[in-house]
Structure 1
Amino acid sequence: MKCLLRPLPLPFHLPLNITTVIHITALRLYSSTMARTYESALAHLDSIQSNRAVTSLFSPPASVSVSASVSASSPSAKDLNALAIPEMLSWLARAGLAQDDLARLRCIHVAGTKGKGSVCAYLTSVLTRVPAAVGRVGTYTSPHLVSVRERIQLDGRPISRELFARYFFEVWDALTEAARDEAARSGNKNVSAAEVEGPASKPFYFRFLTILAFHVFLREGVKSAVVECGIGGEYDSTNVLPAEAVTASVISQLGIDHVGMLGGTLPEIAWNKAGVMKPGRKCFTRKLRGGEGEEEAMRVLRERAAEKKATLIEVEDQEVERWGGVRRTETGSLEGEFQRYNQALALKAAAEHLRVLDGSQHVPAEETLSDLAERFSDGLRQAKLQGRSETRHYGDFTWLVDGAHTAESLQVAAKWFAGKRKASAGDAKVVLLFNQQERDVAKLLESLHGGIERELGAAQGNFFDYAIFARNDVRRKTADEPERDLAVQQAAADAMRELSPRTETAVVGSVDEAVEKIQAAQRRDGGKVVVLATGSFHLVGALLRILEPDAEL
């Protein structure tokens, strides 16, 4: 297990010399003379160990009761998580970067379970509209939906294919040279060129992209950066940022997710997310109250802030609700009233970022959300984020797209969907396109359906005329491909028939088949069609590739 997580001395953690065929293929792929194209960069990236291969090593822990035993004290040193930051620092050094280099950046570090992507989108949009004050803005987020370039943005736009390829190979080659030097120092003559030049000498996917993002920001003269955690905070790869690089941090809405890595209770997860707090800096979070484990989670956040000598700013729901948020002038992404809580966190963090950049030492009079919104309203209105509460219109079809994939986020998606249905007129057919491959699909469907029922009322009856459950594969299987496992999709269809007996269900092996079924139903029945596509970012990403086939990857 450890050898998958640690940058061990050669031979590396993913030996390629399993067979002569793989050896020859690897030598061809990683030849130093090959073209340094964008397509080549993607092929190299795809060869790296996936995040899933690593996160699957963390089996969910036994349930831990919410009690005073959960505190700000550090978890066991035996925990695999505890190795993460030392390992990441080692990889960073191999790529030719040090924390002193990262200290040249000024970052807002964002953690959370729900809403962190939205907070990052609002922050990016706000900061790019005050360039004289913040300089060039870089943004690092995950996951991507269509193109990996979405993860690394410069001034609010995905990095170009040309720049991605250039900087990708600068990092790849630096890691290769470090491996070659290490092999020479160790005198190990059994190390092949493929092992040195290939993925065996590289960190796993998210770590590599995190290093690449920092490299891009430094090479492109980024001054202000918005950096989103991947999973957690304390042990997340992005948390190699030194204290002097962070102007403010944000912990968006907390919820239960990634329990194998973060813990099975809200207080445990709060402990991990609080890792983004830095000495002398403010951390903004939505104040929790009333729900299971929420008071305890807030206590943990306060203890962690004291431990880290940070200032925790707890944003009250009443303050946000009195303010009301800033509404978009047209439909698009980041819709729904719940976004006002994410807007509030972004406003406060952006104002603090500007104060720190200005070098102001005095504590300013607290600005109301209305005051801040007046300063930054254009940024809030024009923020965009693919696949988050996003409405897309194509002729007779309206696609309501949201990557919600936990019980809590699906309840939020249900509220958004119900609001759209209340506001719409006509008798359009309504379709659910759904998948979740890794979690309990029946429970997630119950959460979505129950949330819609609470908003629209049980008297409405059928919320969906059709429900299609698809794998996340973009295209249908080829003739020589083995049959795809549809057990999860079948379980979802069975659960849907229990929840809504009058909904017509179908199971398909790919998203393009699902879209074809929806289009065929429209041709048969005529009229308008509204499709709610949700349950997985992978599903949403596949759908967007089909709806926008000419989009640049």
Structure 2
Amino acid sequence: MIDLGLSRVIRLLTALGNPQLTWKAVHVAGTNGKGSVCAYISSCITQAKISNGRFTSPHLVDRFDCISINGKPVVENLFLEVEKKVSEVNLENNIQATDFELLTAIAFEIFHRQKVDLAVIEVGLGGRLDATNVLPPSQTLCSIITKIGLDHQNFLGNTLSEIAREKAGIIKQAVPCILDATNEPEVIREVEKIVSQNNSKLILAHPLTNKTTGPFQVDPSTSPLLGSYQMSNLSCSLQALLEIQKHYPLSDRIVQQGIKETQWPGRLQKVQLSNGFEVLLDGAHNNQAADLLAEYINNSVRPSATSAITFIVAFSQGKDFKGILQRLVKPGDTVIATQFGAVDGMPWVAPCDPQEIAAVAYSFTDPANVHIEQSIQKGLSRAQQTPTTSSTVICGSLYLVADFVRATR
């Protein structure tokens, strides 16, 4: 169940003793790129030996891997211990917190128990009414807003301006706000208004290029994360690290090494199976992300404009999978429509019917190239029997990517 609002999570955290007041935070919102920004920053502050936590969602493989301490997923026993405590407090006080509110409280309590100095916190959905938006200005070093696009319109609004207002709800009084400068003009205008209302400072992060050196003398070409859009995410991250540097020691060498060692699984990630078969994983689940994935595929994966690709796809219910397929699939491509399994800890998430996906895919490629399989394992088997295509891409949902990781680890 998704029920946005702050009243329940405030009650829950108060009953826990307000663990979020014992560490500093960097707060990250946006439609796409949030996770990459969190990964860059976390890698650099871990490299600097700053005791830190990271909370991103959804989890990739295990329910607890959305919470990290010093760059490593939290130990399962600690997660379960804190989960039990938070659940008891929720029941004893009849708070009726949602699953994500409980998870947020678990993360914040773990950071308190682990005595982290700094935590990188990714918004779950939106910003203004997201459970993570209980971080007070006194504890927040900066807010970051990455690229904003159309997604979750049933919760956030139907226009970029409306969505931008919700995302900009994380801007706090007198706390610097870093904004991806490639956002549309209406997004920048909305953010500027809210920055002004909060007596904050707006820092526009312009995308880096391979011909320029970023803050901390970072060479953008050393970033291991694929995709040209990462130059904007890297720029946002480096601007945030400049703000962090005002409170913690960060040298050029440390940041350069942190960027080089950044990992963000499941996002434009190349994986080779034990039999040598290679796939490209990406969690692209909205039109903006599909545009970026299509750009990467067409520039770096298709040997020529007419080369065929195999797509293994699944989508969460409510996603615009027609728009996503339209951006990705070319005539001659193969589409294998499948579904992901139950998502641990997120019972409200359900996959689209593969038959519905296939029916839409017929519009974009030869119907003979469209197949339905009921699981990622069967989809992979089918893909490996498709000799006419040059590459295989698994996309449409991070939950599908997670099923792939579980099936092949």
Q: TM-score, normalised by structure 1?
A: 0.66
Find the aligned partners of 1:437 and 1:213 in 2 and give their Cα distance. 25
Aligned to 1:533: 394
Among 357, 373, 383, the alignment partner of 1:492 is 357
Cα pair 2:207 2:231 within 8 Å, conserved = no
Aligned to 2:12: 91
> Is 1:172 aligned to residue 87 of structure 2?
yes
Find the aligned partners of 1:163 and 1:419 in 2 and give their Cα distance. 44
> Is 1:248 aligned to residue 127 of structure 2?
no
Cα shift at 1:374 = 5.9
Aligned to 2:280: 400
> Is 1:471 aligned to residue 392 of structure 2?
no
Q: Deviations over 1:460-482 (max 9, x none)?
A: x63x2x3200011279xxxxxxx
Find the aligned partners of 2:328 and 2:363 in 1 and give their Cα distance. 14
Cα pair 2:338 2:373 within 8 Å, conserved = yes
Structure with more helix by fraction: 1
Aligned to 2:347: none
SS at match of 1:356: coil
SS at match of 1:110: strand
Q: CA RMSD in A?
A: 2.9
Cα shift at 1:327 = 3.1
Q: Superposed, which structure 2 residues align to 1:103-252 within 5 Å?
A: 103-131=21-49, 135-179=50-94, 202-252=96-146
Counterparts in 2 of 1:486 and 1:176: CA distance versus 1, 3 Å: closer
- One-letter amino acid of the counterpart of residue 10, structure 2: L
Find the aligned partners of 1:91 and 1:375 in 2 and give their Cα distance. 37
SS at match of 2:47: coil
Cα shift at 1:322 = 4.3
Task: Give the number of the structure whose alpha-carbon radius of gyration is greater.
Answer: 1
SS at match of 1:404: coil
Cα shift at 1:375 = 5.4
Aligned to 1:263: 157
Q: Deviations over 1:277-309 (max 9, x none)?
A: 1222211111246xxxx2222111111001111
Cα pair 2:52 2:117 within 8 Å, conserved = yes
> Is 1:339 aligned to residue 230 of structure 2?
yes
Find the aligned partners of 2:307 and 2:188 in 1 and give their Cα distance. 44
Cα pair 2:54 2:67 within 8 Å, conserved = yes
Cα pair 2:53 2:67 within 8 Å, conserved = yes
Aligned to 2:346: none
Deviates more, 1:410-419 or 1:497-506: 497-506
Counterparts in 2 of 1:319 and 1:267: CA distance versus 1, 3 Å: farther
Counterparts in 2 of 1:329 and 1:447: CA distance versus 1, 3 Å: closer
Cα shift at 1:264 = 0.8
Aligned to 1:545: 406
Find the aligned partners of 2:208 and 2:40 in 1 and give their Cα distance. 21
Cα pair 2:26 2:121 within 8 Å, conserved = yes
Q: Deviations over 1:398-457 (max 9, x none)?
A: 1100000001101111122223325x69x99742101223223222210223xxx6xxxx
Cα pair 2:165 2:190 within 8 Å, conserved = yes
Cα shift at 1:316 = 2.8
> Is 1:501 aligned to residue 369 of structure 2?
no
- One-letter amino acid of the counterpart of residue 544, structure 1: V
Deviates more, 1:313-322 or 1:141-150: 313-322
> Is 1:276 aligned to residue 194 of structure 2?
no
Deviates more, 1:227-236 or 1:490-499: 490-499
Cα pair 2:338 2:379 within 8 Å, conserved = yes
Counterparts in 2 of 1:295 and 1:329: CA distance versus 1, 3 Å: closer
Among 168, 184, 188, the alignment partner of 1:298 is 188
- One-letter amino acid of the counterpart of residue 244, structure 2: H
Find the aligned partners of 1:281 and 1:250 in 2 and give their Cα distance. 10
Among 304, 307, 312, the alignment partner of 1:433 is 312
Find the aligned partners of 1:144 and 1:258 in 2 and give their Cα distance. 18
- Consecutive unaligned residues of structure 1, counting only runs of 5 or more, are 1-52, 56-80, 180-200, 359-370, 454-460, 476-484, 549-553
Find the aligned partners of 1:54 and 1:251 in 2 and give their Cα distance. 22
Find the aligned partners of 1:487 and 1:170 in 2 and give their Cα distance. 35
Find the aligned partners of 2:38 and 2:228 in 1 and give their Cα distance. 17
Cα shift at 1:496 = 2.5
Find the aligned partners of 1:317 and 1:420 in 2 and give their Cα distance. 20
Cα shift at 1:263 = 0.9
Q: TM-score, normalised by structure 2?
A: 0.88
Find the aligned partners of 2:294 and 2:213 in 1 and give their Cα distance. 24
Cα shift at 1:315 = 1.9
Aligned to 1:15: none
Find the aligned partners of 1:410 and 1:417 in 2 and give their Cα distance. 10
Cα shift at 1:536 = 1.0
SS at match of 1:261: helix
Find the aligned partners of 1:528 and 1:431 in 2 and give their Cα distance. 6
- One-letter amino acid of the counterpart of residue 110, structure 1: V
Counterparts in 2 of 1:396 and 1:288: CA distance versus 1, 3 Å: closer
- One-letter amino acid of the counterpart of residue 320, structure 2: D
> Is 1:54 aligned to residue 17 of structure 2?
no
Cα pair 1:437 1:488 within 8 Å, conserved = no
Cα shift at 1:391 = 0.6
Counterparts in 2 of 1:246 and 1:259: CA distance versus 1, 3 Å: same
- Consecutive unaligned residues of structure 2, counting only runs of 5 or more, are 344-349
Cα pair 1:108 1:226 within 8 Å, conserved = yes
Counterparts in 2 of 1:500 and 1:237: CA distance versus 1, 3 Å: same
Aligned to 1:419: 299
Find the aligned partners of 2:27 and 2:119 in 1 and give their Cα distance. 8
Q: Deviations over 1:288-340 (max 9, x none)?
A: 46xxxx2222111111001111111112347787448623587xxx3122211
Identical residues among aligned pairs (%): 26
Cα shift at 1:344 = 0.8
